[in-house]
A and B are shown apart, each in its own frame.
Chain A
Amino acid sequence: MSDILRYFRQDMLPHIWCPGCGHGTVTGALVRAIDRLGLSKNKVCIVSGIGCSSRAVGYLDFDTLHTTHGRAIAFATGIKLARPELTVIVMTGDGDCAAIGGNHFIHAARRNIGITTIVMNNNIYGMTSGQYSPMTPKGMYGTTAPYGNVERSFDLCELAKASGATYVGRATSYHVPLLIDLIHSALQNKGFSVVEAISQCPTYMGRKNKIGGAVEMLEWIKDGTVNVKAAAALGPEKTKGKILIGELHNESQSEYTADYDELIARVQRKYDKFQGGIYGCASNSD
């Protein structure tokens, strides 16, 4: 445990999350996965957007970037393309990623750029105090869904897979060892990886929907999910309405920034005699 603290900016603690919030558990899982991989703190960049989830990066002792709402993946795309050797991680939430940031999410997946995106899904906008999000299940309540949510929700993992993400997994703040394993695997995938981490928001989701406090919410999460391997054995009848957790997709595809570096090598071979480009200013790009 004390080893884990070295990944945190201890002057920033305690965190601002509510008592019982699951986001600290998810952040802890990320740090444990990084620790297990033995990554250098100096070569990891963690980027976030806006919302409860996105405050995580302020507590972490890496190069960290707390950006504008929904844009974390776009900022991260710039970092990864400029410095492909860095490990680039995005920490985002269900509103930040699936609503305002949805376009960047699907296009990063399409490019298969080497970014690991951890979506802390608490099914609600917590920071603005409980509005429904694109991940709020139909029929559940939020301050902007006072009569129950009439919209359907995303299956973000299916969206990621359909958009081209090469590693997709889902775990929860209840299933912590699984969550660490999935993040550990995601960080090793060269392309775009998505780990959805279902997390409890007792303050708004729990209260608005009369689920209860943190413990009851964790039980609600546990009861509402089933491991993808177990689901295969149980059959569709017994798993109806349950959310699948585990590794949902894993394929090997070439990664975007590596492909771009190959393009540069190819172009430079072809245009060797024009080294320096149209105006001979290579010397200015040190």
Chain B
Amino acid sequence: MAKTVKLMQGNEACTIGALAAGLEFYAGYPITPSTEIAELCAEELPKVGGKFIQMEDEIGSIAACIGASLTGKKTMTATSGPGFSLMQESIGYASLCEVPVVIIDVQRMGPSTGMPTSLAQGDVMQARWGTHGDHPVIALAPGNVRECFDLTIRAFDLAETYRVPVIVLSDETIGHMREKVVLPDPSEIRPVRRAAPTSPAGYKPYAADQDGGVPLMAPFGEGYRWHVTGLFHNEMGRPTNSGEIASDTLHRLARKIEKNADALADYAAESLEDCEIAVVSFGSSAMSGLSAVRRARKEGVKAGMLRLKTIWPFPEKVVAELAARAKCVIVPEMNLGQIALEVERVAAGRAPVQRLGKVNGELFRPEEVYAAIMNAARGDDAAGDGARGAAGEAR
């Protein structure tokens, strides 16, 4: 089989990416605008001997995925805001128990039921801090249909490598948009599988003495007879009330992601070399942003685009470096300034950061971002003026 050329939507590309990564188990609950992923998994998984189950709710869906993952399978669920909220407790469970699982969140307008069929990017901070307690997390944001395929594969590889839940932060526009996509030959994809012990003898399920601080993971049903608990646990997996062990565990969990932040950082850059007005964005907002940057360039404005493909851990280095030399950083996003908060933190005053938040459910028009770029180039509205930027919101 050679390259596949196909017109497909983002949700479809996520599903095919998951299958290419070796998806074996899907549990989910229908919710707009993610449902196509469940539908395609229901159709395709049996063909490759995999399992699909429609659970009674999203809480059960993530739970079933974690259970299946403990048997050694690659598992995924997909949802949108309300369902993502319901999954949070067990996402924390997967973080502490170090169980790989992939969660696709096709973001829609919230809070609450909101506008179910409308675009938003309001789950950025929920992806980071939605579950209680300190915990590691990885979140990736595809910016086009092909990237839905690529980043879903990457999500599986990272989940397996680091034994963490990985969130793919798609959005309504990316999920439903159709593009011509050229997919590589499946043989070119080399999915990663978690490192497993070779013998039950002396197995310590949470001993993290090997490189990378990620413990070896034994599948259930193979004679290891280990214990998994959401209580803090020692290296044998036994529950503990030791503050010292709890502290060591939280530091190790944070470290296994933080120390790999450079390898995890992923982004697309355009015209950043000499850029004075930098646009930092992600997902569907970045499509409008890129169009605006190109138009501004034609007008002689030194605009550039940094599109984040890894959202968490936040790619601090590239953003800090950009803020150190840009005159202004504009952050268009379909929320009231969630990524902008991170950009402000990392820029640390080196460049003014202009929040360009939009929350009416409609994708940015390129001219909205363009106007912000041109205003910034003229020195108007330079930053720090709160949640609404130069273009403000289409009313």
Contacts and interface: CB of A to CB of B under 8 A. Distances in A.
A267 B189 CA distance: 25
A83 B221 contact: yes
Given A57-B227, A82-B24, A280 B67 contact: no
Contacts of A67: 63, 66, 90, 93, 230
Contacts of B174: none
A63 B191 CA distance: 27
A280 B1 contact: yes
Contacts of A271: 47
Contact of A103 (B44, B56, B74, B231): B56
A82 B64 CA distance: 9
Contacts of A268: 46-47, 49
A9 B224 CA distance: 13
A279 B71 contact: no
A79 B238 CA distance: 21
A77 B220 contact: no
Interface stretch (B14-22, B299-307, B329-337, B355-363): B14-22
A63 B22 contact: no
Interface string B124-157: 0000000000000000000000000000000000
Contact of B16 (A61, A276, A278): A278
B76 to A, nearest CB: 12
Interface in A68-91: 68, 71, 74-79, 81-83, 85-86
A275 B59 CA distance: 33
B238 A81 contact: no
Contacts of B186: 276, 279-281, 283-284
A279 B183 contact: yes
Contacts, number: 181
Q: Which of A42, A66, A76 has the most CB of B within 10 A?
A: A66
B71 A83 contact: yes
Nearest to A271: B47
A127 interface: no
A107 B66 CA distance: 18
Q: Which of A61, A62, A85 has the most CB of B within 10 A?
A: A62
Contacts of A215: none
Interface residues of A, number: 52
A66 B90 contact: no
A281 B22 contact: yes
Interface size on B, as a range, is 35 or more
Q: Which of A67, A78, A83, A281 has the most CB of B within 10 A?
A: A78
A64 to B, nearest CB: 5
Contact of A65 (B40, B57, B67): B67
Contacts of B163: none
B46 A263 contact: yes
B308 to A, nearest CB: 27
Given A64-B228, A279-B19, A107 B27 contact: no
Contacts of A12: 238
A284 B67 contact: no
Contact of A79 (B19, B68, B227, B231): B68
Contacts of B49: 264, 268, 282, 285
A282 B239 CA distance: 39
Contacts of B61: 74
B65 interface: yes
Contact of A75 (B50, B67, B226): B67
B23 interface: yes
A212 to B, nearest CB: 31
B237 to A, nearest CB: 9
A275 B44 CA distance: 10
Given A281-B20, A283-B187, 13 more contacts: A63-B224, A66-B231, A67-B93, A71-B59, A77-B60, A78-B63, A81-B68, A86-B221, A104-B60, A276-B186, A278-B44, A279-B19, A282-B48
8 contacts: A63-B225, A65-B228, A67-B90, A74-B64, A78-B27, A82-B68, A274-B47, A276-B47
Interface of B: 1, 4, 16, 19-25, 27, 40, 44-51, 53, 55-57, 59-61, 63-71, 73-75, 89-90, 93, 183, 186-187, 189, 191, 220-231, 238-239
The 9 closest A-B pairs by CB, nearest first: A78-B67, A78-B64, A74-B63, A74-B60, A82-B68, A78-B68, A66-B229, A75-B67, A284-B22
